[in-house]
């Protein structure tokens, strides 16, 4: 029998974080939206939580138990807890969630690809992830940043743009190619620590949304790092060599979907509360034709939110139970990215002047949520991934 009940452990995380973000994050959201690039000192208390969540909390135990996991297991682990936490954090504020010190998107790469020794070195560092380049966006396999082995060091050259937490982090996980002629298989991820000669933050972006989070352009010029900073297997393998790097997305895409869900839930909750004050309360015991247009909109949004939530939980649960979740991760990223934005825009529409006024956070949530449909692979890219997995088509058969 399928259970749709949220595990008690996940509920406990939700309840704890909901109270914290409501009392700490929400009250400062507008200030840091207006003061882009200012570091939110109020969030320092969240660092241990972020290290345990985004930083792959439970990775070691999961790795040790991997051989013991069976198809019939029902394990609730770090991934399920992380997506629940991401939803609640984003309900407070997406930009401030991304500005939380202690754990960044790069930590997911360390968690997915690093050896045990590397995890000991980098697992607790605040890591950003640098993939996108001026001429390389959604197609991560087209990166041109190079890493050349010179003795016991790799020399990295290239430029990365739109790097979340690129200025505030302690280290950056950089995607670079060992040999351009060998295509995707030669792309590896490298940890470059802040302060390394040849590595600099070129500029910080001014953005439409998530303004509390810094988004940087990074430049690497003859940047030398120890060869042990290459995450995982250094060999170029024609078959499967790129999969280790791409495994990062299987962990981060459900997190981004959870963020889109949290932001959309915030907009829905606010809209429902305002309308209730005007006597507009959706009736659950009536047929569609008996409901007002506003009631139908509210019930439709609520249904979409529940669908996304179940998809997010499933993607996290599959990862915790040792099941490949590439398809499910892309499906929920596509669904949450698109419908999260539709929901927030619908809320703005329903509330009219209130929805568009800076006296309230709803207009900010509309600006913030758009990015969840873009980074970690756009909605269009996710649809291609989904089609490939369902149809079992190779890269050259569907583009």
Beta-sheet pairing, 215-226 with 199-204:
antiparallel
* Rounded Cα–Cα distance for residues 397 and 399 (Å): 7
Specify if 179 maps to a domain.
yes
Cβ–Cβ < 8 Å for 37, 214? yes
* Rounded Cα–Cα distance for residues 267 and 366 (Å): 8
Q: Mind telling me the catalytic residues?
A: 376
Residue 191 makes CB contacts below 8 A (sequence gap 6+) with 106, 110, 118, 121, 122, 127, 171, 172, 173, 174, 225, 229, 231
Single residue among 68, 102, 122 that ends a domain in this structure:
122
Q: Clarify whether residues 250 and 387 are in a common domain.
A: yes
Single residue among 61, 95, 122 that ends a domain in this structure:
122
Q: Clarify whether residues 383 and 250 are in a common domain.
A: yes
Cβ–Cβ < 8 Å for 192, 225? yes
Q: Provide the token pair at 311.
A: 């998809």
Mean pLDDT of 169-195: 93
Three-state SS for 61-107 is HHHHHHHHCCCCCCCCCHHHHHHHHHHHHHHHCHHHHHCCCCCCHHH
Cβ–Cβ < 8 Å for 52, 82? no
Specify if 234 maps to a domain.
no
CATH number at residue 156: 2.40.110.10
Q: Clarify whether residues 317 and 377 are in a common domain.
A: yes
| Total number of domains constituting the chain | 3
Q: Clarify whether residues 348 and 276 are in a common domain.
A: yes
* Rounded Cα–Cα distance for residues 398 and 385 (Å): 9
Q: Clarify whether residues 53 and 106 are in a common domain.
A: yes
CATH number at residue 270: 1.20.140.10
Q: Clarify whether residues 181 and 43 are in a common domain.
A: no
**Which residues, in sequence order, are bridge partners of residue 177?**
146, 187
Phi/psi region, residue 322 (left: phi>0; alpha: psi -120 to 50; beta: rest), is left
Q: Clarify whether residues 381 and 274 are in a common domain.
A: yes
Q: Clarify whether residues 386 and 302 are in a common domain.
A: yes
Mean of all residue pLDDT scores within the chain: 88
Single residue among 173, 206, 229 that ends a domain in this structure:
229
pLDDT over 50 (residue 270) = yes
Domain that holds residue 224: 127-229
* Rounded Cα–Cα distance for residues 45 and 49 (Å): 8
* Rounded Cα–Cα distance for residues 13 and 19 (Å): 10
CATH number at residue 60: 1.10.540.10
SS3 11: helix
Specify if 30 maps to a domain.
yes
pLDDT classification of 4: cutoffs 50, 70, 90: low
pLDDT in tens, 373-391: 998 888 888 998 899 889 8
Q: Clarify whether residues 221 and 131 are in a common domain.
A: yes
pLDDT over 60 (residue 7) = yes
> 233: closest CA among 59, 110, 113, 109?
113
pLDDT in tens, 278-329: 999 999 999 999 999 999 999 999 999 999 999 998 998 888 888 889 999 9
Cβ–Cβ < 8 Å for 369, 90? no
Q: Residue 164: in which H helix or E strand, if any?
A: strand 153-164
pLDDT of residue 62: 41
Q: Clarify whether residues 212 and 264 are in a common domain.
A: no
* Rounded Cα–Cα distance for residues 390 and 227 (Å): 38
């Amino acid at each position: 029998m399928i259970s749709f009940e949220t595990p008690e452990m996940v509920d406990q995380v939700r309840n704890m974080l909901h109270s914290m973000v409501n009392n700490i994050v929400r009250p400062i959201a507008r200030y840091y939206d207006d003061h882009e690039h200012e570091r939110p000192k109020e969030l320092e208390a969240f660092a241990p939580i972020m290290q345990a969540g985004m930083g792959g909390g439970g990775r070691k135990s999961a790795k040790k138990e991997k051989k013991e996991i069976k198809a019939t297991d029902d394990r609730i682990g770090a991934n399920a807890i992380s997506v629940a936490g991401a939803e609640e954090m984003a309900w407070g504020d997406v930009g401030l969630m991304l500005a939380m010190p202690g754990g960044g998107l790069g930590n997911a790469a360390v968690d997915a690809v690093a050896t045990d020794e590397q995890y000991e070195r980098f697992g607790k560092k605040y890591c950003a992830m640098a993939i996108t380049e001026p001429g390389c966006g959604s197609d991560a396999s087209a990166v041109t940043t190079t890493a050349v082995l010179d003795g016991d060091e790799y020399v990295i050259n290239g430029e990365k743009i739109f790097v979340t937490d690129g200025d505030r982090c302690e280290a950056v996980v950089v995607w670079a190619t060992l040999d351009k002629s060998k295509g995707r298989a030669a792309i590896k991820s490298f940890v470059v620590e802040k302060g390394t000669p040849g590595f600099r933050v070129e500029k910080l972006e001014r953005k439409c949304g998530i303004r509390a989070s810094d988004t940087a352009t990074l430049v690497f010029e003859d940047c030398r790092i120890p060869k042990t900073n290459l995450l995982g297997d250094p060999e170029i393998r024609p078959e499967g060599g790129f999969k280790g790097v791409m495994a990062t997305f299987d962990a981060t895409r459900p997190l981004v979907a959870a963020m889109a869900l949290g932001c959309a839930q915030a907009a829905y909750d606010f809209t429902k509360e305002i309308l209730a004050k005007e006597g507009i309360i959706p009736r659950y015991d009536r047929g569609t034709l008996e409901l007002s247009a506003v009631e139908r909109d509210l019930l439709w949004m609520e249904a979409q939110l529940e669908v996304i939530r179940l998809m997010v939980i499933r993607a996290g649960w599959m990862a915790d139970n040792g099941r490949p979740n590439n398809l499910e991760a892309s499906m929920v990223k596509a669904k949450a990215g698109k419908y999260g934005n539709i929901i927030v825009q619908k809320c703005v529409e329903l509330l009219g002047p209130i929805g568009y006024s800076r006296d309230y956070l709803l207009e900010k949530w509309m600006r913030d949520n758009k990015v969840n449909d873009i980074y970690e692979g756009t909605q269009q890219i996710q649809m291609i991934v989904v089609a490939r997995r369902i149809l079992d088509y190779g890269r050259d058969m569907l583009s």
